[in-house]
Structure 1
Amino acid sequence: MSIQQSEVLYTAVATAENGRDGRVATNDGQLDVVVNPPKEMGGSGAGTNPEQLFAAGYSACFQGALGVVARNENADISGSTVTAEVGIGKNDDGFGLIVKISASIPNVDVATAKDLIEKAHQVCPYSKATRGNITVELAV
């Protein structure tokens, strides 16, 4: 289900120069980074890359969704962390992504942690945006 333009609460704006081998910056100046392909893809690896930026955004968003779910479930997720691993590789269309989301939730048992991350995966905007498009593995 998509949102209508009138329902948008915030819009992030970023501009890239020279694609994967250049610079990307937000219009508010909060993010301004050099981007370079990783050494594994023939680049210098001197800067960050789009997959790292996507992993950072996805992990933060997923942690936020986990917090929403935990509040609804009265679960203690204090001290929890969420790690996103974003892989890029060749596929039939050129290149594609694969993601692994790992959550460490020390104050709940494994079954509860699995339930919480499954529910977070249903409400996380990044998960919704990627659903059906890329493989996303969940792990605790």
Structure 2
Amino acid sequence: MSKITQVLVTGKTHTTGADSAIFSGNHEGKLNLHLTSPGNPAARTYQFDAVVAHPTAEQLFAGAWSACYSGAVGIVAKQLNVVLPADTAVEIEVDLGMGGNEYFLQARLTLIVPGVDRELAIKIAHGADAMCPYSKATKGNIDVTLNIVTA
């Protein structure tokens, strides 16, 4: 895989068990969004003066991935008979960037499970990564870093 040498835009999410981070196609009338293109800041191809901010594709991808990964975390924890703390969270950052003259994506997933034994948290994080369809779809296609926070 090629590495990003210049990040153009980052979509960030913070998902907790109380968050509703489910996206659905607007054919059901549940999602009707205007999107913002990050443009090409290096070339200043696009100008967005006086434009209302809308989510970027990277934010939507991070949000959908975060919802899916969070669900997988819950399933894996249940399989391991682990009760997750109420402040369990998932943070996902998806970067759009350039490597040479090409565009690429990369991501960072962070599982936050305060008070959970680190080895157990690692097992949950990797189990969820193996289960989540978004993680499966990106495996080997983009650079992904998996982080675990237990403090």
TM-score band by shorter chain is: 0.7 to 0.9
**Shift of residue 93 of structure 1?**
7.0
Where has structure 1 moved over 3 Å in runs of 4 or more?
38-43
Are residues 28 and 124 of structure 1, via their aligned partners in 2, closer, same or farther at CA, if it must alter by over 3 Å? same
The 3-state SS of whatever aligns with 1:33 is: coil
Question: Aligned letter for 2:147?
Answer: A
**Shift of residue 38 of structure 1?**
3.6
**Shift of residue 107 of structure 1?**
4.0
Are residues 51 and 124 of structure 1, via their aligned partners in 2, closer, same or farther at CA, if it must alter by over 3 Å? same
The 3-state SS of whatever aligns with 1:35 is: coil
Query: Please, what TM-score do these two structures have when normalized by structure 2?
Result: 0.70
**Shift of residue 108 of structure 1?**
1.0
Partner of 2:116: 108
Runs of 5+ consecutive residues of structure 2 not aligned to the other structure:
1-22
Partner of 1:86: 94
Are residues 93 and 118 of structure 1, via their aligned partners in 2, closer, same or farther at CA, if it must alter by over 3 Å? farther
Matches within 5 A, 1:68-83: 68-79=75-86, 80-83=88-91
Instruction: State which drifts further: 52-61 or 107-116.
Output: 107-116
User: Whose helix fraction is larger, Structure 1's or Structure 2's?
Assistant: 1
Aligned pair count?
Answer: 118
Query: Please, what TM-score do these two structures have when normalized by structure 1?
Result: 0.75
Instruction: State which drifts further: 127-136 or 93-102.
Output: 93-102
Q: Is the 8 A contact 1:77 1:107 kept in 2?
A: no
Partner of 1:31: 31
Partner of 1:131: 139
Question: Aligned letter for 2:99?
Answer: N
- The yes-or-no answer on 1:55 pairing with 2:62 is yes
Runs of 5+ consecutive residues of structure 1 not aligned to the other structure:
1-11, 15-25
Please give the root-mean-square deviation of Cα atoms over the aligned residues, in Å: 2.2
